[in-house]
Chains A and B, each alone.
Chain A
Amino acid sequence: AQSVTQLDSHVSVSEGTPVLLRCNYSSSYSPSLFWYVQHPNKGLQLLLKYTSAATLVKGINGFEAEFKKSETSFHLTKPSAHMSDAAEYFCVVPSNFGNEKLTFGTGTRLTIIP
């Protein structure tokens, strides 16, 4: 079965410094992988998606993620944090081949320090 592990439940960074949110996955085949973002009291929004076309994936709001098969990782990064990046971030993997069942990580809450 496919699964994801988000290694940090809470990350705090200062505004203007780099962001790193870590995600490891477990899969018996090369999966699709997603990062979703949830701002306070809102629904979730797709940040970026990996589908094997390229290992470095660029998303919205300056975020990107690199798929590393040898490390089974899909870490999310941003060079310079902005106050508006404060949110909860979820790493997600499909549970089967059809993408209709997704398994969410437990989430990482990102706090930005002014």
Chain B
Amino acid sequence: NAGVTQTPKFQVLKTGQSMTLQCAQDMNHEYMSWYRQDPGMGLRLIHYSVGAGITDQGEVPNGYNVSRSTTEDFPLRLLSAAPSQTSVYFCASSNRLTGELFFGEGSRLTVL
């Protein structure tokens, strides 16, 4: 009964370092997405995917890359971390019919 699994839960980076946030879902959902949550701003869409091999930009894509080689996995890459990317990141998946998002428990990233 895993649902959406994100790793790591916590990460501290120095400015300029790179890292990948991992996201996996076991519900065979077509849609997967990454959001960032900042105080007073709700959740903002970074990138999303409507199926394997297909990705698109959301509201705040700059500084982030994604790929979707399988239905299950949707990693988020920070190529050169900046303090403005300090945030809590959520991965979510959903199916086409219901639109209900299933969220991971979040990854708290601090960039010094």
Binding site for B on A (CB under 8 A): 9, 32, 34, 36, 41-46, 49, 90, 94-95, 98-107
21 inter-chain pairs at a CB distance below 8 angstroms, sorted by A residue, are: A32-B99, A34-B99, A36-B101, A43-B103, A43-B104, A44-B92, A44-B103, A45-B103, A46-B101, A94-B99, A95-B45, A99-B99, A100-B48, A101-B45, A102-B45, A104-B35, A104-B42, A104-B44, A106-B40, A106-B42, A107-B40
Q: Considering the chains assembled together, what is the distance between the CA atoms of A43 and B92 in angstroms?
A: 9
Chain B residues whose C-beta falls within 8 Å of the C-beta of A43 in the assembled complex: 4, 90, 103-106
Partner of A102, one of B40, B101, B104: B101
Which residues from A are CB-within-8-Å of B50?
98, 100
A-B contact count (CB 8 A): 58
Given known pairs A43-B106, A94-B99, the reply for A100 and B33 (CB within 8 Å) is yes
* Complex interface: chain A residues within 8 A of B94 (CB): 99-100
Cα A36 to Cα B106 in complex, Å, equals 15
Bound form: Cα–Cα A90–B35 in Å? 14
Q: Give bound CA distance, A103 to B59, whole Å.
A: 9
Number of interface residues of B (CB under 8 A): 25
Residue from the set A36, A49, A104, A106 with the largest chain B CB neighbour count within 10 Å:
A104
CA distance A99 to B104 in the complex (A): 18
Residues of chain B within 8 A of A44, CB atoms compared = 43, 90, 92, 101, 103
Q: Provide the main secondary structure of the chain A interface.
A: loop
Contact across chains for A46 and B100 when beta carbons are under 8 A apart: yes
Contacts of B105 in A (CB 8 A): 42-43
**Does B58 touch A at the CB level, under 8 Å?**
yes
- Mask, B83-112, CB within 8 Å of A = 1, is 000000010101010111101111000000
Contacts of B40 in A (CB 8 A): 9, 106-107
**A94: chain B residues within 8 A (beta carbon):** 99
B31 within 8 A of A: yes
- Which residues of chain B from 42 to 93 have any CB-CB distance to chain A below 8 Å in the complex? 42-45, 48, 50, 58, 90, 92
Contact A101 B42, beta carbon cutoff 8 Å: no
